[in-house]
Amino acid sequence: MRKVYDFGRGKRGAVIAAAGKTRITIMLDDDVIQHFRELAEAQGTGYQTMINAALRSAMNPPAGAGKPITAAALRKVIREELSMLRKNEKPG
């Protein structure tokens, strides 16, 4: 053992950092935290893990989400709805 050790280049915290994770401080509303804590407790996981999953799903929305409808698709839906209405009309 040495008599004196140089910690000048030492880092505080864990010796090995978690790959792909960054510690941040973020302010969230109390009801948001409570919601995720309740969900996490019910599912047996961590609330921070659930918040991370919610943020990740916002980054990768389901296919077709947020895409504008085309005129052809709109016409098709309107025709289908009008057809259903005509079938359900009572003769008067």
Domain regions of the chain by residue span: 30-88
Given this model, what pLDDT does residue 68 score? 80
Given this model, what pLDDT does residue 54 score? 93
Given this model, what pLDDT does residue 85 score? 87
**Rounded mean pLDDT of the chain?**
87
pLDDT above 90: residue 34:
yes
Q: Residue 71: CA atoms inside 13 Å, Cβ hemisphere, count? A: 0
CA 82/CA 88 separation, integer angstroms: 10
